[in-house]
Amino acid sequence: MLAGQQVVILRDNVDRIGGNEAQRSNIMAAKAIAEAVRTTLGPRGMDKMMVSQAGGDVVITNDGVTILHEMAVEHPAAKLVIEVAETQDNEVGDGTTTATIFIGALMEQAEALINRKIHPTIIANGYRLGMQKALEVIDEQAIKTDGEDRDMLIKVAGTAVTGKSIEDAKDIITSIVVDAVLTVARKDEDGKYKVDEDDVQIKTMVGDSMEDAELLRGFLLDKTRVQHSMPKRLEGAKIAMISAALAVAKTQVKSKIKITSSEQMEAFSEQENETLRSIADVIVSSGANTLFCGKGIADAVQFYLAKANIIAIQDVPDSDMKKLARAVGATIVSKPEDLNEEMLGEAGLIEEMKDITITRITECKNPATVSILLKGTSQIFVDELERGVYDAVRVVMDALEDGEFVVGGAAIDIELMMKISEFAATQEGRTQLAIEAFSRMFEVVPYTLAENSGFDQIDKMVALKAAHAKGENHAGLNVFSGEIVDMLAEGVIEPARVKRQAIMSATETAALIIRVDDMMISKNASQMGM
Ligand SMILES: Nc1ncnc2c1ncn2[C@@H]1O[C@H](COP(=O)(O)OP(=O)(O)OP(=O)(O)O)[C@@H](O)[C@H]1O
Ligand SMILES: [Mg+2]
């Protein structure tokens, strides 16, 4: 209302939620998301079964980001929380559950502060100060190693896969993961390790057991030649890569061709055949003996390629085309006429694998390509295995690049909680309360690990704090015995990068959400379930 007159600035189809209600709704949504994944944290965390009613697909997983993906969430604040988990996954590959429950804890703390009439701006500011302190504490506490410390890397991989249904084959799988990463790692000018995620491929097959996992040099493509008459194995491959379909282009205008005699029919198919034959001829004359095509290959083209003893594989997914091009040093062209000798990639050997529809491309021009082949008795199982191994590959890469580790099993969290709480005491006014609240975010890891393992949360927290107060800064919770033990000695270590990323993105997003006091929701957009 303006001078007694109502001014309408929003369209009819916009809902508006303001003030406390907006804050409450957002806090509740963020807490609900955290609640959904907290029971999966740690080696004794449980798995979740997600069933899609539409397709009947079943996913069983312990992986935070996967669970959140599968949940069809509508609330805008909940979506922001899920984005944090996704960022965590993209940036560092592990710690998605941790990042999510961190936000839940920050929102819970914020709720209490807001109830005490502390302004959201002060809370957000205190959270940022707390975050900076947290990053300093991690710098101080991080264990630094030089060069490749295989033993540490194995432990990092082991920590990432605990609780992810890998227990029985943990030694085999962690050593495969570490070898894979070390094979593709390069050193830059200042002697720092650099690893490209795309150089390590993970493939799965149903059959055999988990212990039969293999590390293979080269690239594995889960496709095979289009015709059985094409060679199954080929040495000295010259590889053409074409993104478009190899077929007769459909005319834009739908024209009806009336064929009245068998001669006409023959002439017509003769002409089409000629076109297809010339497509095959262009490929043959480029000097290629192998073809990877991003789309389909017409039967006639397949026939002529087979006659020329070329291995052709069709419908290769985009992402595989790119990685493969990198591995063999080929340039992907959009049509056959663009091919020439320089565009071709090279591989020493191309071979179809036994019992599975996988073509293995080895002795690639770029030798830094390795593949991990995972095996298991069911698709649901190998899918979860793949997620665990993916986490492990990513953390080993992070750890190798940075050479910085923190001690897990709640050890680093207790240290952070205590150091930030001390820091809060040095600050003035209400900011002190916000930083103090921030420090309590770190309670969520020990609490949740204890809870998920069936131990009394308060008892364990008291014992952990007492140990850290005595200077035992690696003391953490043995989730199997319930004892407070030196987690470094237990080999429970994680890359410092994973923890840093979780703290940073949780804090930024929490600060963003709590400062919202007005939500305008356009009803035209997808229904938002508030
Ligand atoms: N053997 C162990 N003993 C105690 N704690 C452990 C052990 N192994 C891992 N942890 C702890 O478990 C937590 C990680 O659990 P989990 O892998 O389930 O979640 P996340 O890494 O946050 O998310 P996700 O793996 O789903 O992306 C870390 O705090 C880690 O220190
Ligand atoms: Mg993990």
Ligand at shortest distance from the CA of 476 = 1
Atom in ligand 1 nearest the alpha carbon of residue 413 = 29
- As given in the structure block, the two tokens for residue 506 are 């949780």
Determine contact, residues 237/350, Cβ cutoff 8 Å: yes
Q: How far is the CA of 112 from the centre of ligand 2 (A)?
A: 29
Bridge-based pairing of strands 186-187 and 193-194 is antiparallel
Distance CA 508, CA 128 (A): 8
- 162 is an active site residue: no
Distance CA 437, CA 484 (A): 25
Residue nearest to atom 20 of ligand 1 (CA): 95
Q: Is 97 in the pocket of ligand 1 (CB under 6 A)?
A: yes
- List 61, 66, 87, 96, catalytic entry: 96
Name residues whose C-beta falls within 8 Å of residue 256's C-beta, 6 or more positions apart in sequence.
none
Convert the pLDDT of each residue in 461-504 to its tens digit: 999 999 999 999 999 999 999 999 999 999 999 999 999 999 99
* pTM tops 0.85, yes or no: no
Amino acid at 148: E
Determine contact, residues 203/258, Cβ cutoff 8 Å: no
- 391 is an active site residue: yes
Residue with tokens 């198919």: 269
**Which of 449, 460, 485 has most ligand 1 atoms within 8 Å of CB, for mutation?**
449
Residue 71 — left, alpha, or beta (φ > 0 → left; ψ -120 to 50 → alpha)?
A: beta
Q: How far is the CA of 493 from the centre of ligand 2 (A)?
A: 11
- List 89, 94, 320, 391, catalytic entry: 391
- 63 is an active site residue: yes
- 251 is an active site residue: no
Bridge-based pairing of strands 493-495 and 14-18 is unpaired
Name residues whose C-beta falls within 8 Å of residue 379's C-beta, 6 or more positions apart in sequence.
206
Helix (H, G, I), strand (E, B) or coil at 9: coil
Return the closest-CA partner of residue 96 out of 73, 64, 70: 64
Cα angle at 57 between 53 and 61, to 5 degrees? 110
Q: Is 94 in the pocket of ligand 1 (CB under 6 A)?
A: yes
Determine contact, residues 102/501, Cβ cutoff 8 Å: no
Q: How far is the CA of 94 from the centre of ligand 2 (A)?
A: 5
- As given in the structure block, the two tokens for residue 173 are 């799988």
Distance CA 185, CA 313 (A): 30
Question: Mean pLDDT for the chain?
Answer: 89
Q: How far is the CA of 423 from the centre of ligand 1 (A)?
A: 27
Cα torsion at 398, 400, 403, 406 (round to 10°)? 50
Long-range contacts made by residues 181-188, C-beta under 8 angstroms, separation at least 24? 181/153, 181/393, 181/396, 181/397, 181/400, 182/148, 182/150, 182/153, 182/400, 183/217, 183/368, 183/370, 184/368, 184/369, 184/370, 185/148, 185/400, 186/368
Q: What was the pLDDT predicted at 281?
A: 93
All domains of the chain in start order, with CATH = 14-143+407-522 (1.10.560.10), 146-218+372-402 (3.30.260.10), 221-355 (3.50.7.10)
- As given in the structure block, the two tokens for residue 18 are 């303001």
Q: Is 42 in the pocket of ligand 1 (CB under 6 A)?
A: yes
Residue nearest to atom 3 of ligand 1 (CA): 409
Q: Is 158 in the pocket of ligand 1 (CB under 6 A)?
A: no
Q: Is 93 in the pocket of ligand 1 (CB under 6 A)?
A: no
Q: Is 165 in the pocket of ligand 1 (CB under 6 A)?
A: no
Residue nearest to atom 4 of ligand 1 (CA): 409
Return the closest-CA partner of residue 185 out of 234, 236, 145, 148: 148
Q: How far is the CA of 378 from the centre of ligand 1 (A)?
A: 25
The segments of the chain whose pLDDT lies below 70 read 1-4, 6, 8, 10, 14, 18, 53-55, 250-259, 518, 520-521, 523-530
Q: Is 467 in the pocket of ligand 1 (CB under 6 A)?
A: no
Q: What was the pLDDT predicted at 64?
A: 77
- As given in the structure block, the two tokens for residue 98 are 């941790």
Kindly report the three-state secondary structure assignment for every residue of 306-369.
Answer: HHCCCEEECCCCHHHHHHHHHHHCCCEECCHHHCCHHHCEEEEEEEECCCCCCEEEEEECCCCC
Name residues whose C-beta falls within 8 Å of residue 117's C-beta, 6 or more positions apart in sequence.
none
Convert the pLDDT of each residue in 182-208 to its tens digit: 999 998 888 889 998 888 999 998 888
- Burial 339-360, CB ≥16 within 10 A → b, else e: beeebbbbbeebbbeeebebbb
Return the closest-CA partner of residue 38 out of 404, 450, 529, 417: 450
- Judged on CB neighbours under 10 Å (0-12, 13-18, 19+), 301 is buried
Q: Which residues pair with 364 in a beta bridge?
A: 347
